[in-house]
Amino acid sequence: MTAVQEAQEGQEAQEAREGREGQQSAPFDALRTQLQEAATQFADGPDALEGILLGIVDDVDRAVREPLEIFPVCHHSPASAVAMARRLREKQPKTVYLELCEDMAPLLPELRNCRLPVAVQAFASEVDGFPPEWAPLSVVAPLTEASAEYQAIAYALDTPGVELVLVDRSSDHVFQWQTRGPGPGTGSDAVPDAQPATSPPEEESALHGDAVGVEIGDLRPRFAELEEHLLHHGRVRHWSEWWHQYVELPLGDSDHDTYRQVMLLIGSLFRRLAPGDPERAGMDEDRERHMWTRMREHLAASGTDPADCLYVCGAFHAASRVAEFGVHGADTFEITPRSASTWQYGLIPSSHTAIEAQFGLAAGSVSIAATQWAKNLRRTRVQPFRLAGQAGTKKPAKGGRTPAPAPAAPEGAADDRLTGFLRRPPVLDRLDEAELLGWSVDIVRAARRSGYLASTADAIAVFETSILLAGMRDRARPTPYDFQDAAVTCIEKDTVPGRRDVRRLVEIMMGGDRIGQVGYDALPPLARDVHDRLAPLGLKLQQRGVQRALLDMAARPEVARCSDVLWMLRQLMPPGTARPIMGERRLGEHPIQESWDIALGTHQRALIELGYEGVSIEQVLEQRLRRTAYGPRATTATVLQAVEDATLYLRSRRLADELGTRALEVLATERSVDGAPEVLRRVRRLLAYYRTGEPALPGWIEAFVKTGYAHYCTLLPTAFTDEDATGGQVAAMLGFLFSMESLALSLGCDRTQLELAFAQSHPREPAKVALLWAAQVQLGLLSRARLRARCDELLGNPLVVPAYPRYLSGFLHALEPVPQLADFVVELVSNAFARLPDPVLLPWLPTLISTLRAGGAEAAPLLIREAGRIFPGRLAALDAWVPPWLAGPDPAAGPPAAGAGGRGAVLLAAHPAACDAVAELLGCEGSWAGDPGARGAALLGRHPDTAAALEVLLTG
């Protein structure tokens, strides 16, 4: 503690002493005197320690004297829940003020349609007044049956004449006041407990997503040295175990006044020993000012007597020292208005693991708390409150149980219960051998099922080790944490044979990870609509786990609509929600059968949050496609993908045309060719779809082809010389220009643009040089014979041989725009393997493989087909086989005979029926005149140049 803090505490202590001098005798005077004497005797100076100790007593006294009864709680504390249920039945307040976001109140009645644990959620997908990078905003408040706040909610909702008022700041103010570090979604700011080596399952611990957690009773030391001191001297591993041992068990059977004063004492202690974090302390005090302001406003508006009210809040906030504290506090706090963000509210499933992960609790602590809650109910015979008709709750027995009377307070301590509680030695529970034996047998049975070689001897060892560990930690009765350590020590081996280790098996055995569920009636309209539309499948969609569905559209046409829903869910929901096993959706295809793995119940939270974005999945998908197309990072490829999705899943020609026009706008503004391969693939698919399924092409795609032709002609010279442009991107540009050329020219484009682009292209990189040569062959500017000669020159030049594989990579990319060169590429690759030395060839093989993988869908089939046509089909013929590009003219055949050219005419004269049929098909009339064979031969003799040129073209 710094000197400034000591001076501040001393000043507060002095002010407290001066204030107490004018007071009459209070019930805590005896305790003050004892603490003052202890501070003077054991502290170096009485001011600092005395100020802390006496200030704690003052905080307790101030809260106890408040006319509006304050009920301090700790989040998910069984002792708090039992004390809450007992106090509600004794006091029966008419108004319950609860520390929970005030804008969540309308959603609480829907809890009766859910199975706990669930979380109340506020969600804002579009923000106004916050930085855009914070979106989406999400706030959750988890509830379990062992929560004191749930007991208060159930009492207020099911008791006639009782009003429940939420007084904490709104969800919007959570983000207005929250200190920003890396951004929203950081969860609770509590320091996490030390976690075991094996983390909980990701699926269960992620039920809350990235939401910010709001909890009642954030009761944990904010002074790291204090927590470390408590854990060390308490001989425990983490804070959850310390709380269970030293707070839960002692307060489980205490009376109301003792429980209340002890919780206030703990809250004041942690508050006064908190480190000097002005931002967090200021936010806590603002919450307290907000809550007391709301309560005074409600009391003034309703005229309710404060004696008939109960204020449920965390013990940390119950020991508040703000000026606005109490029903007679100062009205100086001004609540700021909310932002213009639109908030949606709903219930999402929660789990014990999700609560532990979000609020930094030890793994299994919430499950152990649920087990302790059940034990407390059996021991105290307190009847808890449960919402009528709620799933997962047992119906109370007829006539109800008679609650056990609260423990009697010691005589002479009618008001001050702290003195007796602090002086009383800890009550050591006797060893329950039957319970411990049952635990030992159960964990050995579970370990065997998980693959461990456990035996009866291990059960005995676990039993004895649990007692030994409890004795070493000054406990007469082993706690679940002692038993967990003993099981790990006696059963855990070097490796974990199954999915779960022994620590996780103990957590499951102690109660497991209970996962809640939101009922159908509490779901948003979109989620209910999804369930209704998938009803023909006959599946239990609320059930967790994966279910298989077979859709036979031929036998049951009604399930075709279910297929549409599943494909849209696959686009909108997390992976695994709807996974196709058989069947796919492509443009222009109509499936007959499909098979799906559906896990809608497992991803219920994502479905509920999807309902915050719209009332139907079609509306949500359309909104997302628009956001993608009009977003700041939209590219031509992503917008074309949105066009394809709109056609595939929504079958909306209107939306597809709108997004296609947007793709045209984005293409005109792009100055790079990064997305050219994806643009080429998607435009080809869309063109094929519209040509086969529409009477005419849409106007936007005609304009896209026309603009794209001119656009890529303009960028082509730059792309050939740009080092950042890859060979695949340039090949995609050439593929667009060559494949769309006929359509572009019919729409008014000028081929001179393409010729000028090639005239201005002067690449230096070998791969792009090869691409240029291939394009020139396609345009007729370069013959195959000349191209073969150039490649032979490259192989014959020792200075160029190391770069020859890069030329080959360029030719492989050239198969995209010029697939007719497949046989020539086979020839080049064969020559490379035949003539390149190993030091050059072997390092190039990874590049060849990666190139084939990247373009394998189109290039590999072409190469395989051409190789199968050129190479011999049998191994025996390989030795005598000569590649056709190496085989010269056959010298034994001699020069062609003079009449050889007339063999075709003789064949035509011998079989004139074929020619007659073609003439009739073309509408030509006439008869055979003279000798057609002689006429053809005479024509070839008079004009031999045409035949010679054709021979060169076919054999070159």
Q: Could you read off the pLDDT of 212-251 as tens digits, one per residue?
A: 766 555 555 665 666 676 776 667 776 777 777 777 777 7
Which pLDDT band, with edges at 50, 70 and 90, does 381 fall under? confident
- To the nearest 10°, report the CA torsion of 247, 249, 250, 253: 130
467 vs 462: CA distance, rounded Å: 9
* Structure confidence at residue 418 (pLDDT): 62
Q: Could you read off the pLDDT of 505-559 as tens digits, one per residue?
A: 887 777 666 788 888 888 888 999 999 999 998 888 888 889 999 998 888 888 8
* Structure confidence at residue 43 (pLDDT): 52
940: CB partners within 8 A, 6+ apart: 901, 902, 947
690: CB partners within 8 A, 6+ apart: 697, 698, 701
Kindly give the interhelix angle for 46-65 and 29-42, rounded to the nearest 10 degrees. Answer: 160
Average pLDDT over residues 858-874: 79
The amino acid occupying position 794 is L
- Comparing 779 with 921, which gets the higher pLDDT? 779
132 vs 577: CA distance, rounded Å: 28
Q: Could you read off the pLDDT of 626-663 as tens digits, one per residue?
A: 999 998 889 999 999 999 999 999 988 899 999 999 99
pLDDT at 410 over 70: no
Q: Could you give the C-alpha distances from 924 to 9, 422, 912, 917, 928, in angstroms and in order?
A: 114, 118, 15, 10, 12
Contact 274, 218 (CB under 8 A): no
Q: Nearest CA to 191 among 306, 63, 362, 308?
A: 362
Contact 351, 207 (CB under 8 A): yes
pLDDT at 851 over 90: no
123 vs 104: CA distance, rounded Å: 11
pLDDT at 7 over 80: no
Contacts 24+ apart (CB under 8 A), 179-187: 179/279, 179/280, 179/283, 183/133, 183/134, 184/134, 184/137, 184/138, 184/210, 184/212, 185/138, 185/209, 185/210, 185/211, 185/212, 186/212, 187/211, 187/212, 187/213, 187/357, 187/358, 187/359, 187/360
Q: Could you give the C-alpha distances from 197 to 363, 367, 496, 504, 935, in angstroms and in order?
A: 11, 19, 12, 10, 94
Q: What is the DSSP letter of 194?
A: P
Which pLDDT band, with edges at 50, 70 and 90, does 394 fall under? low
658 vs 660: CA distance, rounded Å: 5
In this structure, what are the phi and psi dihedrals at residue 699, rounded to the nearest 5 degrees?
Answer: -65, -35
Contact 51, 272 (CB under 8 A): no
399 vs 180: CA distance, rounded Å: 53
* Structure confidence at residue 502 (pLDDT): 84
The amino acid occupying position 71 is F
Average pLDDT over residues 381-388: 87
* Structure confidence at residue 891 (pLDDT): 45
Strand partners of residue 141: 120
Contact 218, 314 (CB under 8 A): yes
* Structure confidence at residue 430 (pLDDT): 61
> Using CB atoms within 10 A of its CB, is residue 186 exposed (0-12), middle (13-18) or buried (19+)?
middle
203 vs 193: CA distance, rounded Å: 20
Strand partners of residue 596: 549, 580
* Structure confidence at residue 694 (pLDDT): 84
pTM: predicted TM-score of the whole model, two decimal places: 0.71
- Give the range among 445-449, 603-607, 912-916 with minimum mean pLDDT: 912-916
Strand partners of residue 96: 164, 310
- Comparing 82 with 354, which gets the higher pLDDT? 82
217 vs 74: CA distance, rounded Å: 4
85 vs 87: CA distance, rounded Å: 6
- Comparing 888 with 91, which gets the higher pLDDT? 91
Strand partners of residue 163: 95
- Comparing 194 with 491, which gets the higher pLDDT? 491
Q: What is the DSSP letter of 14?
A: H
Sheet strands (E) in 116-250? 118-124, 137-143, 163-168, 212-213
Average pLDDT over residues 11-30: 48
- Comparing 450 with 245, which gets the higher pLDDT? 450
Which pLDDT band, with edges at 50, 70 and 90, does 413 fall under? very low
* Structure confidence at residue 33 (pLDDT): 62
DSSP of 745-763, one letter per residue? HHTT--THHHHHHHHT---
- Comparing 818 with 209, which gets the higher pLDDT? 818
Q: Where are the alpha helices (DSSP H) in 211-349?
A: 224-234, 239-243, 249-251, 256-272, 278-302, 315-318
Which pLDDT band, with edges at 50, 70 and 90, does 568 fall under? very high
- Give the range among 69-83, 346-360, 815-829 with minimum mean pLDDT: 346-360
Would you call 252 helix, strand, or coil by DSSP?
coil
* Structure confidence at residue 658 (pLDDT): 92
Q: What is the 3-state secondary structure (H, E, C) of 310-342?
A: EEEEEHHHHCCCCCCCCCCCCCCCCCCCCCCCC
Contact 611, 346 (CB under 8 A): yes
Average pLDDT, the chain: 79
The verdict on whether omega for the bond into residue 497 sits within 30 degrees of 0, i.e. cis, is no
Tokens at 682, concatenated: 């998607």
Tokens at 658, concatenated: 């709108």
Q: How far apart are the first and last CA of the chain?
A: 92
pLDDT at 359 over 80: no
